A and B are shown apart, each in its own frame.
Chain A
C-alpha cells in the first residue's frame, strides 16, 4: 500500500478583476499548482464578509484564502482597503476560537501575476499539509 498524502481542502475567494484573472493566467501559462484549491469568484475581495470565511471553515475547509488586487489597483477604487482592514480582525478572532491563523491567507495577486498565484497555492497547500485536517478538531469528542 502506497503512502497516503493528506490533501487539504482549500476554499479561495478570488476577486474577479485581479486574482481570478491571475489564476486564469496561471492556467493559460500552463503553470502547475495543487488541485486542493476550489475557487469562489467574487466581484471584489471587499465582498468577502468574515462570516463567509468562518462558514467555509465550518463546512470543512482546511484552509481559506482571500486574494484581491494590490492596494491602489482595486477595480472598485477602495474595495480592497476594506479587506485589508477587516481580515486582520478576523484572523485574531480565528486564533481566539482555536483555528490556527496559518490556515487563513490574505494576499494581493494581480492579473499579471499568474506565477505568484501558482506559487501562493503551492506554498499554502504545503503549509496546510504540515498541519492535521481541521475536521479532526471539529468532530472530536469534547
Chain B
C-alpha cells in the first residue's frame, strides 16, 4: 500500500467507490433520509452555537482518530484518488450512496426523468452553504458540473460523458440534458461529481487547477471541513457548523498515517486510535480478542484476479491463448489456498468478474470450478500439450516449453499468493516462477503488454458498467483501464447495448451474458471476492451505520456518536 501508481490509484478509487455499496449484513439503520436541518442560514457561521447555556470552560472536543496506511496524495479533489470515504466527508454530491444499493438524496432532494430518458430535473435543497460561507444553489451546482465537464476534471468527468447541457432553471431546480440515455444515471451522478465552490475554483487555468493545493482545495458542502493536512503524518477534519443535516455529533476526525498495518493494530489496542479503515487478515485475531474493540467483517466490491495476457500483439507464448490451456489453468488455480494464505480466510472463492455483493448483477448461474490438477492434466494431455522431453514441463506443438512469466506487486501477502499459483501450475506441468516488483515496474510493462500473468486487483463500482468497461477494446490504449488486453466484438456490442439500456432487467440479462463470455474466454481468473474488514473502539463510539460496508462512509458515519 505504499506505492501510488495509476493502476493502484485506479484500484483505490474504485475501492473507495465501492465502499458504500457493500452488501452489508447487519441491521439496517433507520433511513432518515432527511435528517433535521439545522440553521439553514446562508451566512457563514458567525458565532458558535453555544449560547450561554454552556459552562464557561469549553468542553473538550470529541475527536475520532482513524488509522490508515495512506491518507492521500493531495488535498486537491480534481486529481486525488485516495481514500474516497475521507473526501466524501468533505464534499457532497447530488445523489449519494447510502446502504446497500440504495440511492439517497444528497444535494438533490428529488428528481424526475422525461419519458425518453434524456432530460433529468433535480430539485435542489435549500439553505446549503459551502465551508467558506458562500451559498450552494442550483446555480453553483450547474457551474460545478459544467466546469467539471469543460476542464475534463479527471476524477469525475468520465462519468459525465453523455451530459449535453446542465442548466439551473432557478435556485432550486437543476436540469440535465443527455445526448444519449444513460443506463446507470444515478450511479453516474453519485460518486464522481462532487460539487465544488466557484468561489475557489472559478477562473483558474487547467494548470492552476492541477497545481492547486492546500486547505482551500478542501472546501465543499459536506459535514466536515478540512483543517490541516501534514503529508505523511496526519489530517484533521472539523465539524462544519452549518452542515445542512445539522452539525455532526463527532467534533473532529483525525486521520493518522502508519507505516505498517501491525503498528496500526497495536495503536488501536492501545487506544491511540479509534478506527482502522482496512484491517489486514492477520490482524483480525488479535483485535477480536480485545473487549473494547468491535471488528466488522463486511462483504465488499473488491476482487483480486490473475490476469492472463489476452492482447493479440503476441508478447505472450502462443499456448497461453488456447482456451483449453486457460481452462486447465482454472483447474490448477487453488482458490481455497489463495484465500487462506493471502486473506487469512476472509474472502469467498470467485467465479465471475462481478462479486456476489453486487446482488442481482452477479451471474449466479456460473458454477465455480474447483481445484483439480488431475482434470487440468487430462485437459492438457487431450489438447496435445505433452512433456516430450520429460523435464516436468509440457511443450506445445512446436516444442516450446510452457513457461510463463508470473508477476505481482511487492507485498508480503502477494508473495504468498504467488507461491500458491506457481505451485498449482507446476502440478499441471506449467512453469511459472513468481516475480514481485514495485507498482511502477509493473505499470511499465503496460504500453507493450509485455507480460504473461499478473496477479492484481480491483475495487469495483456498485454499478456493473465499470467492471465491464475495463474489457473494452479502446481501453487498451496507453493510460486506459484494460489490463488484460482482451478485445472481443461480441462483448463490445453487448457493452454498448447495456450502456443505453434503461430497463434494468433487460440490462441485467445483458450483463449476465457478458459475465459468461468473460468466464469462457478467461482474460481473468478471478480468485476471490474478499471482505472489507474494519475495527473500531466500541468503548468510545457507537451507532455507526453498518449498511454501507464502510463505517467511515458519510451515510453510515454520521449515524455514529461518542459514548459519554
Tell whether A and B belong to one assembly. no
* A interface residues (Cβ-Cβ under 8 A, vs B): none
